[in-house]
C-alpha cells in the first residue's frame, strides 16, 4: 500500500456522530426510553434502550472503527469493520446496527475482533485499485486511515493491478472511479434516502455487485442533479468533483486574461477545515489575500449578487402577489420557489417539470455575477469582456453544471468560466505554498465591495428567505426589521428542520419606495395580510414539500418557499470539505450567522453598491428591461425518462 505521509484523516479522528435529522431515518432513539446499563470493555455505561453499541461505546469513550456508517444515514451494517463481540453471541455483531435492549457485555478488541477488522480492511485493499499519491482523497481517506490505524502491514490478499472500470467523467461535475469503491453503499444511501434522487444504486449481486446507475449508464445519461452529496459521504476517492484547477491555473498563467474570482459565503466558513482549523472558523479575509497571491486580478464577493438576487426575486414575489391577489391573474403561480440552488433547479426540472412556473426566474447569484462582470464591470474597467475570465468559488458541485447551462451566456460570453469547489480552491492554495490561516486579512475589491449580512446568510438553509423577508418587511412597512425581530434575526426561519414554515403578519403598510413605484401603486392590499413562507433543504425534503403542495397541504398555502438541494443549505454543499455531519454543518452555520451579525449593513436593499448598479447600469430598475436580460433566466422541462 502506498501510504501517505499524512496523519490519520480528519474523518477518522472526528468522533462527531450527531443524531440523524433527515427523512427516512432509522427509528430514532427515544431519549426517554428505559435506561439500559451495559459494559463495553469493562466500562459501565447507561444508555436509553435502542441505542446502538457504537453510540454507547462513544459515550463510554471507546472508539470503534467504522466505514459504512455515516451520521447522516441510516445504519447499514454491511462493511463489518465495526464488528464487536457481544458475550453470548457466537458471531460478532456490527456495532453500528445493533440496538441495545438488554444489559449486554461488549468487547471491542478481542482477538477475533482485531483479526476480523484486519481481514476486512485487507479484503477492501485487495479490491481497491489506484494509488494514494495521486488520489484526490490522499490524506483524507477513511480506508487509508483504517489501514494505518488497524495494523495493516502488508497486502495479505494481493492487490488489483488493472483497473476494472472506466472512469466516468461524463456529466462534467461528478467523477466516478469505481475502481476505488469499497461498496460501503454510503453514496447509494445518500442519493436515495437523503436526496431521493435515486441516481446511484447497486447492480448485480455477489462478487459482481457494484455501485451503478440505471442500466449502468454514464452519469450524463441518467438523472443526476450534480448535488455532490455522494462525494461528501464517500470514504474513498471513488467519487470526486471534476477537478478544474489546472484550467484555472492556465487562465491565471495567461497574461492576456483578466481573471477575477467571486466567492460564495459558504466556502469561507469551511475552507479553514482544509487547513486544520475547526469547523466554523471564518477565514473570509485571509482567503481574499490568498486569492490575490494566487494571481486573481479581482476578488469579489458573490454576496453582492446575493443582495441583488433579493432585490430581483423580492420584486418578482411582490409582483406575483400583486397579480395574483389584486389582479386575480390565474396564470401567476404561487407559492414562488427560489432558484439559486442549481441542484434543486435540476431536481424540479426532472421530477416536477409541471411545476417550473413556480420557480423564480431570477438567476442564481453566481450567474448574475458572471453576467455583470462581463458587462457592467467590463465597461467600468474598459476591458474587452472577451479577455475577462470569471471563476467562482462555490460550496457546490452543481455550480459547475449551472455555469455550463447553454442559456447562461447573457453577457454574450459564457458568464462564468469555471466554478471551483471549496476543496479545489484549497488544493490551489496549497499548491501555491500558502498557509491560508496565517495570511493577513484583506477586503474585497471595488466596485462591488463588501456585501450585506443578508448576502452572507444565503449560505445557510433559511438564509435566502430571511434575507428576503428583511427586505420585504422594510419595503412594505417602511419600518426597520428590528421593530419586529430583535437584531433583525428572524429566528423562526433558522435551524435545520428539514421542511419548515413561518408566518409573518403585516400590520400597517408604508409608502412604496421609489425603486418600486413603477410596479405597484400602493401597499394597501397587503395591509393586515399574513405572509406565509416555507424552507426546505435536501431534495428529499423538497420532494415532501412538493408532494404536499400537490396534495393541497399546508405548504400549498405558502407564498414563497426556499429550496436548497443540500442538507443544511450551501454550508453543507457537495463541494465543501469532507467530512460533513450535522455537528459540522451547525458549526459552519454559526460562523455564517456571526458574520451576518458583524456586518455593517445587514439588509440587501441597503447595499450601496447594489443601489449604484441600478442607478448606473440596470436603468429599468428591478425587474426592468436590463435586469431581465442579464439577471433572469428560464428553465427546461426535462422529465425523468432515461433514453
Partner 1 sequence: MLLTEQDKQKAQISQLAETHSRNRSALIPILQTVQRDYGEVSQFALQHIADVLGLHAADVYSVATFYQFINTAPKGKFIIRLSRDMSSMMKGAKIVARQLENDLGIKFGETTPDGMFTLEWTSCIGMNYQAPAMMINNEVFSNLTPQRAHLIIEDCLQGFRSHRPTVGKIGETYSSALTYASHEAEAGLRNALAMSPPEVVSEVAASGIRGRGGAGFPTGTKWRLAAAAKGDLKYIVCNADEGEPGTFKDRILLSRFADVVFEGMTIAAYAVGAREGVIYLRAEYTFLKPQLEAALAARRQTGLLGKSILGHDGFDFDIRIHMGAGAYVCGEETALIESLEGRRGHPRNRPPYPIDVGLNGKPTVVNNVETLSSISCILARGAAWFSSIGTERSKGFKLFSVSGDCTRPGVYELPWGITVEGLLETVGGGNAKAVQVGGYSGMLIPASQFDRRLAYEDLGIGGSVIVYGQDRDMLDVAENYFEFFVDESCGQCTPCRDGNVKLLEGIRALRQGKCSSRYLNELISLCETIQVASKCGLGQLSPNILIAINKHFRDEILARPMVGQH
- Catalytic residues, which ones? 313, 316, 340, 360, 399, 402, 407, 570
Minimum distance from residue 176 beta carbon to partner 1 (Å): 14
Q: Tell me if 597 sits within 8 A of 460, measured CB to CB.
A: no
Strands 560-564 and 530-537 come out as parallel
Minimum distance from residue 79 beta carbon to partner 1 (Å): 5
Q: Is 207 in the site for partner 1 (CB under 8 A)?
A: yes
Q: Which stretch binds partner 1 (CB under 8 A): 33-41, 80-88, 433-441, 558-566?
A: 80-88
Between 118 and 381, whose beta carbon lies closer to partner 1?
Answer: 118
Residues 6+ apart with CB under 8 A from 280: 269, 584, 586, 587, 588, 589, 590, 591
Q: Which stretch binds partner 1 (CB under 8 A): 77-85, 336-344, 466-474, 479-487?
A: 77-85
Q: Which stretch binds partner 1 (CB under 8 A): 71-79, 308-316, 372-380, 470-478?
A: 71-79
Q: Which of 10, 75, 343, 572 binds partner 1 (CB under 8 A)?
A: 75
| The residue to which cell 483479526 is assigned | 115
Q: Is 119 in the site for partner 1 (CB under 8 A)?
A: yes
Report the distance separating Cα 464 and Cα 455, nearest Å.
Answer: 8
Q: How many CB atoms lie within 10 A of CB 260?
A: 26
Q: Is 198 in the site for partner 1 (CB under 8 A)?
A: yes
Q: Which stretch binds partner 1 (CB under 8 A): 112-120, 159-167, 272-280, 587-595?
A: 112-120
Dihedral (CA of 477, 479, 484, 487) sign: positive
Q: Which of 60, 120, 393, 591 binds partner 1 (CB under 8 A)?
A: 120
Report the distance separating Cα 81 and Cα 210, nearest Å.
Answer: 19
Minimum distance from residue 4 beta carbon to partner 1 (Å): 23
Task: Encode 515-541: b = buried (16+ Cβ within 10 Å), e = exposed.
Answer: bbeeebeebeebeebebbbbbbbbbbb
Q: How many CB atoms lie within 10 A of CB 504?
A: 18
Q: Is 354 in the site for partner 1 (CB under 8 A)?
A: no
Minimum distance from residue 116 beta carbon to partner 1 (Å): 4
Report the distance separating Cα 245 and Cα 260, nearest Å.
Answer: 14
Beta-strand ranges (E) seen in 305-346 are 336-337
**Within a 13 Å sphere around the CA of 598, how many CA atoms are in the beta-carbon half?**
9
Q: Is 83 in the site for partner 1 (CB under 8 A)?
A: yes
Q: Tell me if 107 sits within 8 A of 92, measured CB to CB.
A: no
Q: Which of 5, 32, 208, 505 binds partner 1 (CB under 8 A)?
A: 208
Minimum distance from residue 125 beta carbon to partner 1 (Å): 10
Q: Tell me if 113 sits within 8 A of 84, measured CB to CB.
A: yes
Q: Is 201 in the site for partner 1 (CB under 8 A)?
A: yes
Q: Is 41 left (phi over 0), alpha (psi -120 to 50) or beta?
A: left
The count of chain residues that interact with partner 1, using the rule CB under 8 A, is 53
Between 123 and 383, whose beta carbon lies closer to partner 1?
Answer: 123
Q: Is 213 in the site for partner 1 (CB under 8 A)?
A: yes
Minimum distance from residue 216 beta carbon to partner 1 (Å): 8
| The residue to which cell 471551483 is assigned | 420
Between 92 and 509, whose beta carbon lies closer to partner 1?
Answer: 92
Q: Tell me if 570 sits within 8 A of 460, measured CB to CB.
A: yes
Between 5 and 208, whose beta carbon lies closer to partner 1?
Answer: 208
Between 90 and 438, whose beta carbon lies closer to partner 1?
Answer: 90
Q: Is 112 in the site for partner 1 (CB under 8 A)?
A: yes
Q: How many CB atoms lie within 10 A of CB 124?
A: 23
Q: Is 132 left (phi over 0), alpha (psi -120 to 50) or beta?
A: alpha
Q: Is 202 in the site for partner 1 (CB under 8 A)?
A: yes
Which residues bind to partner 1, rule: CB under 8 A?
75-81, 83, 90-92, 94, 97-99, 101, 112, 115-116, 119-120, 123-124, 126-127, 156-157, 182-183, 185, 192, 196-209, 212-215, 222, 640-642
Amino acid at each position: 500500500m502506498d501510504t501517505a505521509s499524512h496523519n490519520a484523516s480528519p474523518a477518522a479522528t472526528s468522533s462527531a456522530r450527531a443524531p440523524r435529522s433527515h427523512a427516512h431515518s432509522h427509528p430514532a432513539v427515544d431519549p426517554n426510553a428505559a435506561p439500559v446499563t451495559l459494559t463495553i470493555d469493562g466500562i459501565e455505561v447507561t444508555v436509553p434502550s435502542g441505542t446502538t453499541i457504537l453510540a454507547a461505546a462513544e459515550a463510554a469513550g471507546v472508539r470503534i472503527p467504522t466505514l459504512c456508517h455515516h451520521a447522516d444515514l441510516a445504519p447499514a451494517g454491511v462493511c463489518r469493520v465495526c464488528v464487536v463481540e457481544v458475550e453470548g453471541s457466537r458471531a460478532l455483531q456490527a456495532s453500528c446496527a445493533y440496538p441495545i435492549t438488554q444489559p449486554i457485555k461488549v468487547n471491542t478488541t478481542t482477538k477475533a475482533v482485531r483479526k476480523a477488522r484486519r481481514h476486512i480492511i485487507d479484503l477492501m485493499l485487495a479490491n481497491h485499485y489506484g494509488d494514494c499519491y495521486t488520489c484526490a482523497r490522499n490524506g483524507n481517506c477513511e480506508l487509508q486511515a483504517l489501514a494505518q490505524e488497524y495494523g495493516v502491514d502488508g497486502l495479505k490478499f494481493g492487490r488489483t493491478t488493472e483497473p476494472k472500470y472506466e472512469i466516468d467523467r461524463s456529466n462534467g461535475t461528478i467523477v466516478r472511479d469505481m475502481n476505488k469503491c469499497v461498496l460501503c453503499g454510503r453514496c447509494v444511501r445518500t442519493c436515495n434516502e437523503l436526496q431521493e434522487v435515486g441516481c446511484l444504486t447497486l447492480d448485480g449481486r455477489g462478487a459482481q455487485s457494484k455501485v451503478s446507475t440505471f442500466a449502468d449508464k454514464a452519469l450524463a445519461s441518467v438523472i443526476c442533479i450534480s448535488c455532490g452529496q455522494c462525494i461528501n459521504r464517500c470514504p474513498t476517492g471513488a467519487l470526486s468533483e471534476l477537478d478544474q484547477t489546472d484550467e484555472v491555473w492556465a487562465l491565471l498563467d495567461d497574461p492576456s486574461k483578466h481573471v477575477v474570482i467571486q466567492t460564495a459565503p459558504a466556502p469561507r466558513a469551511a475552507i479553514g477545515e482544509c487547513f486544520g482549523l475547526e469547523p466554523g472558523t471564518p477565514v473570509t479575509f485571509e482567503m481574499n489575500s490568498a486569492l490575490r497571491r494566487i494571481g486573481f486580478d479581482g476578488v469579489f464577493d458573490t454576496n453582492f449578487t446575493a443582495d441583488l438576487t433579493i432585490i430581483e426575486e423580492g420584486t418578482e414575489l411582490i409582483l406575483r402577489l400583486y397579480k395574483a391577489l389584486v389582479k386575480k391573474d390565474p396564470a401567476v403561480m404561487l407559492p414562488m420557489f427560489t432558484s439559486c440552488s442549481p441542484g434543486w433547479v435540476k431536481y424540479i426540472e426532472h421530477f416536477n417539470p409541471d411545476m417550473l412556473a413556480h420557480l423564480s426566474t431570477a438567476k442564481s447569484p453566481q450567474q448574475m455575477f458572471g453576467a455583470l462582470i462581463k458587462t457592467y464591470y467590463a465597461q467600468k474597467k474598459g476591458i474587452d469582456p472577451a479577455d475577462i475570465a470569471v471563476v467562482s468559488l462555490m460550496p457546490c458541485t452543481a455550480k459547475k453544471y449551472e455555469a455550463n447551462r447553454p442559456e447562461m451566456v447573457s453577457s454574450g460570453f459564457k458568464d462564468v468560466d469555471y466554478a471551483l469547489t471549496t476543496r479545489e480552491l484549497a488544493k490551489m492554495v496549497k499548491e501555491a505554498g500558502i498557509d491560508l490561516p496565517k495570511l493577513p486579512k484583506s477586503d474585497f475589491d471595488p466596485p462591488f465591495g463588501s456585501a450585506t449580512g443578508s448576502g452572507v446568510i444565503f449560505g445557510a438553509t433559511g438564509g435566502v428567505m430571511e434575507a428576503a423577508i428583511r427586505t420585504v418587511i422594510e419595503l412594505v412597512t417602511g419600518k426597520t426589521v428590528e421593530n419586529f425581530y430583535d437584531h433583525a434575526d428572524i429566528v423562526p426561519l433558522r435551524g435545520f428542520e428539514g421542511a419548515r414554515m413561518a408566518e409573518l403578519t403585516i400590520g400597517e403598510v408604508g409608502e412604496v419606495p421609489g425603486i418600486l413605484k413603477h410596479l405597484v401603486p400602493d401597499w394597501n392590499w397587503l395591509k393586515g395580510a399574513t405572509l406565509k413562507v416555507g424552507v426546505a433543504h435536501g431534495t428529499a425534503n423538497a420532494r415532501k414539500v412538493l408532494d404536499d403542495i400537490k396534495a393541497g397541504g399546508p405548504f400549498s398555502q405558502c407564498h414563497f418557499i426556499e429550496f436548497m438541494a443540500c442538507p443544511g443549505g450551501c454550508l453543507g454543499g457537495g463541494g465543501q470539505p469532507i467530512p460533513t455531519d450535522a455537528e459540522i454543518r451547525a458549526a459552519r452555520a454559526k460562523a455564517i450567522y456571526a458574520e451576518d451579525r458583524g456586518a455593517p449593513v445587514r439588509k440587501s436593499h441597503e447595499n450601496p453598491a447594489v443601489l449604484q448598479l441600478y442607478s448606473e447600469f440596470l436603468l429599468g430598475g428591478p425587474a426592468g428591461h436590463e435586469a431581465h436580460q442579464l439577471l433572469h433566466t428560464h428553465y427546461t422541462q426535462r422529465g425523468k425518462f432515461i433514453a
